[in-house]
Structure 1
Amino acid sequence: MIGTISKNTVILSLFAIGTAATLAITNEATLSQVNCNKQQALSSSLAQVMPQDHHDRPLLSDRTTVNDPQLGRGDHHIYRAQLNGAPSGAVLEATAPDGYGGPINLIVGVDMDGQILGVRVVPPHNETPGLGDHIETKKSHWIFSFNGKSLGNPDNAGWAVKKDGGTFDSFTGATITPRAVVGAVHRALLYFQAHRDALFAAPADRIKAESCNG
């Protein structure tokens, strides 16, 4: 009896060890691809708010990290663009903390004069389907209304939804979401104006490069 129990225990132990080893090998084999997929998705998002003709090297190669309440709680990345060896703009991560369903993460592309080149919502978000989700490009063109805007266009009072006396449209039945996004974009512009020179003088983050060929 004791011999049988010991034998079964050894077999079960070996099976458990084999299963754990298999899972570890599988995880290691897929981790690199997962990271590559994330990197490619991020690169695609950055390209939507920083046109190719505004930079001549990968945006992912020059990133710095900041922590400032104007951009939201916690760390936010700034991707710096260069053209012909000179700074040409930046993509700022920003968070609207006051969305209807919770925080809304954004990326805001600007040129060196602080003019917006593009804004996108970074999924996921918890805004109401059919109402607040009109911040997504696949739902409406509303997010494109930021293109070409700056701190002087409109003026400070204009950086609000029309219901609050500003220039930006809201959504039928949903004002909280667009109000939150407009506020976050405005604060991102204020941050860039105040810290532009320091941002481009800051050292770049050390980023581990993934080999994503094939």
Structure 2
Amino acid sequence: MKGRTVAILALLAGLGLALLVAANQLLAGRIEAGRQAADERALLDLLPAGSYDNHPLTRPIPLPPSELLGSPPPPSAWLATREGVPVAVLLPATAKGYEGPIRLLLAIRPDGRLLAMKVLGHRETPGIGDRMEPARSPWLRTFTDASLAGHPEAEWRVKADNGQFDQIAGATITSRAVVSATQHALQFFDGHRQQLLGSAGQASP
């Protein structure tokens, strides 16, 4: 009788352990799925809803080292497509801000025009650098549709330097850094268009 009790307890313990392992695996899967969803929201919210039908983050495009994308250089970009046709390239870049690096993400159309951009992180002075955030200021939206073809070299400056782009009040150095990084990212895109867009890169959405 005692041996039977021990066997039953061992069986119950084994079942409990199996259930615990299964629960942990299920929970880990949900945590990973949640993390991936958060990453997608952070990186893909530049793209209009319904404008693409692939999963860009699952196929990163390795980037060659380039000073045009700032330091440290980003390791990869991502391509959004719809029915196999390129919609936009998501290209990270880093600007050299007043207090440290400003990490940017640009969504660039296949024709080289800027669709949208956002700040992923910065160390600029609170209250000043925050003005780069869409909720605080529409400043970044002034870059929409900017392109190398549409803006000659001399225009890629803030208006305080006789350029085309507005600057954030009280943050001219930060503004200069973002304008310069945007121009350089578009130059990188222009020089690596085939690699970034792939074989379908000749088509436009």
| TM-score, normalisation: structure 1 | 0.73
TM-aligned CA distance change 1:38 to 1:186, over 3 Å: farther
**How many angstroms apart in 1 are the aligned matches of 2:161 and 2:28?**
47
**How many angstroms apart in 1 are the aligned matches of 2:175 and 2:30?**
35
TM-aligned CA distance change 1:37 to 1:186, over 3 Å: farther
User: Which secondary structure state, in structure 2, belongs to the residue aligned with residue 54 of structure 1?
Assistant: coil
Any stretches of 5+ residues in structure 1 without a counterpart? 1-26, 203-214
User: Which secondary structure state, in structure 2, belongs to the residue aligned with residue 188 of structure 1?
Assistant: helix
User: Which secondary structure state, in structure 2, belongs to the residue aligned with residue 185 of structure 1?
Assistant: helix
Instruction: Give how far 1:68 is off.
Output: 1.7
2:163 is the alignment partner of 1:199: no
Deviations 1:95-145 (A, max 9, x none): 11x20110010100011001111100003x211112222111122111111
TM-aligned CA distance change 1:103 to 1:36, over 3 Å: farther
2:35 is the alignment partner of 1:41: no
Kindly indicate whether the alpha-carbon contact (under 8 Å) linking 1:78 and 1:93 is maintained by their aligned counterparts in 2: yes
Q: Which residue of 1 aligns with 2:74?
A: 75
TM-aligned CA distance change 1:39 to 1:151, over 3 Å: same
Q: Which stretch of the first structure deviates more once superposed, 164-173 or 37-46?
A: 37-46
**How many angstroms apart in 1 are the aligned matches of 2:31 and 2:151?**
41
Kindly indicate whether the alpha-carbon contact (under 8 Å) linking 2:110 and 2:197 is maintained by their aligned counterparts in 1: no
TM-aligned CA distance change 1:184 to 1:29, over 3 Å: farther
Kindly indicate whether the alpha-carbon contact (under 8 Å) linking 1:76 and 1:92 is maintained by their aligned counterparts in 2: no
User: Which secondary structure state, in structure 2, belongs to the residue aligned with residue 120 of structure 1?
Assistant: strand
The CA RMSD measured in Å over matched residues stands at 2.4
Aligned residues with identical type, % of pairs: 36
Instruction: Give how far 1:53 is off.
Output: 4.0
Kindly indicate whether the alpha-carbon contact (under 8 Å) linking 2:89 and 2:196 is maintained by their aligned counterparts in 1: no
Deviations 1:63-117 (A, max 9, x none): 1121221112333321111121122321001111x20110010100011001111
Kindly indicate whether the alpha-carbon contact (under 8 Å) linking 2:155 and 2:164 is maintained by their aligned counterparts in 1: yes
2:154 is the alignment partner of 1:147: no
TM-aligned CA distance change 1:164 to 1:37, over 3 Å: farther
Instruction: Kindly report which structure 2 residues correspond to 1:9-88, keeping only aligned pairs within 5 A, or say none.
Output: 35-66=32-63, 67-72=65-70, 73-88=72-87
Q: Which residue of 1 aligns with 2:170?
A: 173
TM-aligned CA distance change 1:52 to 1:61, over 3 Å: farther
Q: Which residue of 106, 116, 122 maps to 2:104?
A: 106
Instruction: Give how far 1:169 is off.
Output: 1.1
| TM-score, normalisation: structure 2 | 0.76
Deviations 1:16-43 (A, max 9, x none): xxxxxxxxxxx99976666444422321
**How many angstroms apart in 2 are the aligned matches of 1:81 and 1:43?**
12
Instruction: Give how far 1:191 is off.
Output: 0.5
**How many angstroms apart in 1 are the aligned matches of 2:25 and 2:171?**
44
TM-aligned CA distance change 1:54 to 1:172, over 3 Å: same
Kindly indicate whether the alpha-carbon contact (under 8 Å) linking 1:48 and 1:118 is maintained by their aligned counterparts in 2: no
User: Which secondary structure state, in structure 1, belongs to the residue aligned with residue 147 of structure 2?
Assistant: coil
Instruction: Give how far 1:175 is off.
Output: 0.4
